[in-house]
Amino acid sequence: MQRLADNKKPADLHDLEERLKKARKSVHQEEDVDVEKQQRSEAMGIAFKMGVELVVGTGIGGLIGWALDDVFGSKPWLLIVFLILGFTAGITNVVRDANKSQQEET
């Protein structure tokens, strides 16, 4: 009887070892997926930020140009000039952020 119990222990331990290996493997796979999701969401955040900076720069330039045109009566010249300046500022911010992100990756 005692030999029968001794023979079962190695099989039980072997089964336990296999289950532990499977559990560890699934945990590592989940960690890899979490890291990938985090990297993807960080990239989406950077892209969203760049888009917002471009739109806001252009919008603020347009508002300033429109207001100055109203004050000085030079419609539409200051609006055009400040739209171009705002767009240029937005592009400059996007390029600066892209270079910064690229340097952080290396």
- Whole-number Å distance between alpha carbons of 65 and 58: 11
Check pLDDT > 60 for residue 20: yes
pTM of the model: 0.67
Sign, CA dihedral 13-18-21-27, equals negative
| The two structure tokens encoding residue 91 | 């592009």
Cα-based distances in Å from 9 to 2, 13, 20, 97: 11, 6, 16, 61
Amino acid code (one letter) for 46: I
Residue 21: exposure state from Cβ atoms within 10 A (0-12, 13-18, ≥19): exposed
pLDDT in tens, 50-91: 999 999 999 999 999 999 999 999 999 999 999 999 999 999
pLDDT in tens, 26-46: 777 777 778 888 889 998 999
